[in-house]
A and B are shown apart, each in its own frame.
Chain A
Amino acid sequence: MYMSHRRKNRQFLRLLGLVVGGLLGSIVFAQGVGGGGYSWHDSFALFSPSTLSTIDRTILFHIRLPRIIIAVLVGGGLALGGAALQGMFHNPLVDPYVLGVSSGAALGAVVAMVSGIYFGLFTIPLFAFSGAVCTAFVVFRLGMVAKRIPLETLLLAGVAMGMFLSAFISLGMFLAGEDLHQIVFWTMGGLWGRGWMEVRMVVFPFLIGVPLLFSFTRELNAFLLGEKVAQSLGVDVEKVKKWLLLFVSLLVASCVAVSGVIGFVGLVVPHLLRLLGCEDHRFLLPLSFLVGGVVLLWADTLARTILNPVELPVGIVTSIIGAPFFIYLLRRKKREW
């Protein structure tokens, strides 16, 4: 009987290899895209940096490459967070921002911009990160009823908190004066001008959060059978929920801090993978991470070339493509999830 089990594992490894290959290919391709065109020479310059002129090296290694890495990490983090939370709540409409992380981060960024506090390039990301983590914590506490975390109260607390914070964001915009465009751009979600410093900022939470989330795949599978069954299988349900919310919030907060609010990747990517028949979290989580990375990389590559020389905020691209695609998926296959 376990023949098929092993076969499935092999299938998964093959798929994983395919996606990793796709990711690497996308990175190499994206490396060659710039200035409204594609140059294969730029793509393959990755492998022979010594032949480049100084200016080319700066463009390729200090502008394009870190941005590509940020896109992959942010896309992966959002999709992984979405997959974990959707599984935990057994609800397809949950996105990684349920805890109000996005509005918290936005408010943090707005505070930094309006107050004029500045202590280096990482001021805004740091404020955004703090805002996101604090909001997640408050929503988490508000959503807790008698030491348990029911989905409904958590969602409502997240929505209420988001509205509350939005009012302050609007207030910030109103008072911002000439900083207004900066705030507006930030909330649209974009990756322009992100460099190695931002990569260094997110890499640490990723190194912790991603493997820890991967270690919860069996618990998440047990959640598929309902919380009561999971508990009877020996899963410490409430504790697992708290850990998952903590890791996802950290991961997503660090994504939002460097990229602003990018919608739909965290919602659509795991959903898409489920519809393609990947419901087992042992496979779903790694695939969500990789596919999320690929998707955001392509979206960002599109965003920075489609209206050359203007660069679009990538959040606009993901929403313009993501929302109709999501509706299409919903209409096509209503029975599941």
Chain B
Amino acid sequence: MVKELLSVHHLTFAYSGDCVLQGVDFTLHRGTFLGIVGPNGSGKTTLLHLLARLLPLQEGIICFEGKEIWRYSHTEWAKKVAIVFQEIPTRVSLPCQEVIAMGRFPYLRRFAREGEEDERAVQWAMEMTETWQFAERDFGELSGGEKQRVMIARALAQKPTLLLLDEPTSHLDVLHQLEVMQILRALQREGITIIGIFHDPNVVAQWCQYALFLKGGRVLRFGTTEEVMRKEYLAELLEVEFIEHTHPLSLRPFFTPLELRKRPSRGITVHLICGGGRGIPFVRKFLEAGFSLSVGIVNRFDSDEELAIQLRLPVVSEKPFSPFSEESLHHALHLARKAQWVFIVPTYWGRGNLLNLELARLLLLEGKRVFLLREGFDPRFDYTGGEARKKLAELAHHGAQVLERVEELWEK
């Protein structure tokens, strides 16, 4: 028995001179689930069609179970490899079980009737996909998700070793997407090898064991999802920055794309004095209103600090759970001088971060415009026994403007 199920060597393909795939190499073991990710036009579908023998090979070799794929007969091949497409057939009004039974085509001789083995295969396909409940219903009357499950059942009735899927979930809503992915996972447990193209890198991160990144017809990355699914590789692949979190249930990585960085439209930089996670909504508001931002001083691993890092904002940070040092104060002073305005976020005040108010005072004396919100005077924020409030009042006295709402700044 050959160890690899599928091996692809130096696969190159061109449509009338336009190179779509260039030197694609990878091997896949039995019983694995590979997700292919790539931007539009990266050659994903061409690759899958070549694997499914829907396109002729031009250059390179594809071997399946140690044998060149084009050396299988049409029906031998259809017994080993099945494919499900993104497009769902329209204008078909047959009972679903008839549609699923079409998967038995390669097993039936020209005039033969379906036998017991065919019935068992169809039954199994229906059980795996939970389609038996609409076995007798008209295919044309099903919802998109149900139709796609029937198409998967049709592919399973072929009893394939390898199942190929071309964006099977991209027309489906969240519930049906999850249903399909759960079916695929169950199939993988049954020992079926699966290769799927997925639009959403998170689907691959969640469900696949292996990932292949395709860009410009070349393999950018190939490996286990742990190795490959990283935000820096994804950024390289899709040209969008991602934030990486941990999925709360599966504990697998989960990626959120960052908005495309817009040019700050106002030409005003605001230095935010924040901390304790209180800065997050203000960061959003300022950025959306078109301001540039700098942040400091905040403690390392404070959620305000993490956000600033992820957004690549200039930030001055202090060691975790440490009172701010004079060194940090100098850094922050240096940074904030580049800003036109200073905004003090209504945050909690303790002995550790009082120095931030000192920072504000120094900046005010240097002539910077300093703003704070009325709610910042709320005694519940003050864990310094009134000292912070006193300092805030002092700032207001020396010319810092007290606002009711941050949005008042948009008019200035």
Residues of chain A touching chain B, judged by Cβ–Cβ distance below 8 Å, are 1-2, 4-5, 8, 90, 215, 218, 221-222, 224-226, 228-229, 231-236, 277, 279-280, 336-337
Contact = CB atoms under 8 A, between A and B. Distances in A.
B96 to A, nearest CB: 10
Contacts of B126: 1
Contacts of B26: none
A225 B91 CA distance: 9
A222 B103 CA distance: 9
Contacts of B151: 225, 229
A280 B54 contact: no
A225 B85 CA distance: 11
Contacts of B97: 1-2, 4-5
- Top 8 A-B pairs, shortest CB-CB distance: A234-B78, A234-B106, A234-B75, A233-B105, A234-B74, A232-B83, A225-B89, A224-B92
A222 B104 CA distance: 11
A236 B94 contact: no
Interface of B: 52-54, 74-75, 77-79, 81-83, 85, 87, 89, 91-95, 97-99, 101-103, 105-106, 108, 110-111, 114, 119, 122-123, 126, 132, 135-136, 140, 151, 154, 158
A1 B135 contact: yes
B18 to A, nearest CB: 16
B123 A233 contact: no
Nearest to A221: B102
B85 A229 contact: yes
Contact of A232 (B54, B111, B123): B54
Contacts of B79: 234
**Of B78, B89, B101, B102, which is in contact with the most chain A CB atoms at under 10 Å from its CB?**
B102
A280 B97 CA distance: 12
Nearest to B16: A146
Contacts of B106: 233-234
A215 B77 contact: no
Contacts of B87: 226
A90 B93 CA distance: 13
B92 A225 contact: yes
B38 to A, nearest CB: 20
A221 B103 CA distance: 11
B108 A218 contact: yes
A63 B169 CA distance: 64
**Of A2, A4, A235, which is in contact with the most chain B CB atoms at under 10 Å from its CB?**
A2
A233 B95 CA distance: 19
